[in-house]
Amino acid sequence: MKEKETILTSDGLKKLEEELENLKTVKRREVAQRIKQAIEFGDISENSEYEDAKNEQAFIEGRIITLEKMLRNAKVIENEDVGKDTVTLGSTVVLKDLEFGDEFKYTIVGSVEADPDANKISNESPVGKAIIGHKKGEVVEVEVPAGKLEYKIVDIL
């Protein structure tokens, strides 16, 4: 089975590489030290420090495997790949809610980088899916659990 492609901006790629490096160099060492200290306390069968450290170690190793797989299958969207005519991955768009008149500014990113609090929405989200491929001035309909929303693409930055 083919592994899923991970779509990233260059910033997203850098963040994942930094996280992986931190897990491999700093976190692995810290958890190994915690396990060593817990073993020094004696009987590990009823040692919660040891159990916690082993669980954290398993989490770290799992995350390292996940990050390595994501980076191996990364497709980086470069700034020069992002046009100003049509909404694509990497585009920053200004949308106007036609019902309430509110304007929102979003950057369309791959699902790995999605962070609604930072106005980064996934290309797989309802809004992201709806606006990709559309041009400035177009009105798009977005199916959401609450019903249908209409947005006008005010600008592509």
Residue-level pLDDT at 128: 93
Q: For the beta carbon of residue 33, count every other beta carbon within 10 angstroms.
A: 11
Given a cut of 90, whether residue 42 has pLDDT beyond it is: no
The reply to whether CATH 3.40.190.10 applies to domain 82-156 is no
pTM: 0.75
CATH class of domain segment(s) 6-77: mainly alpha
Q: Which backbone phi and psi does 102 adopt, to 5 degrees?
A: -70, 145
**Residue bearing tokens 């700093």:** 26
Q: Is 77 helix (H, G, I), strand (E, B) or coil?
A: strand
Positions of CATH 3.10.50.30 in the chain: 82-156
pLDDT interval class at 102 (50, 70, 90): very high
Quote the pLDDT of residue 81: 64
Q: Cβ of 83: how many Cβ atoms within 10 Å?
A: 12
Cβ–Cβ < 8 Å for 135, 76: no
At residue 74, the 3 state secondary structure works out as strand
Tell me the pLDDT band of 144, cut-offs 50, 70 and 90: confident
**What token pair was written down for 95?**
């949308």
Every domain of the chain with CATH number 1.10.287.180 lies at: 6-77
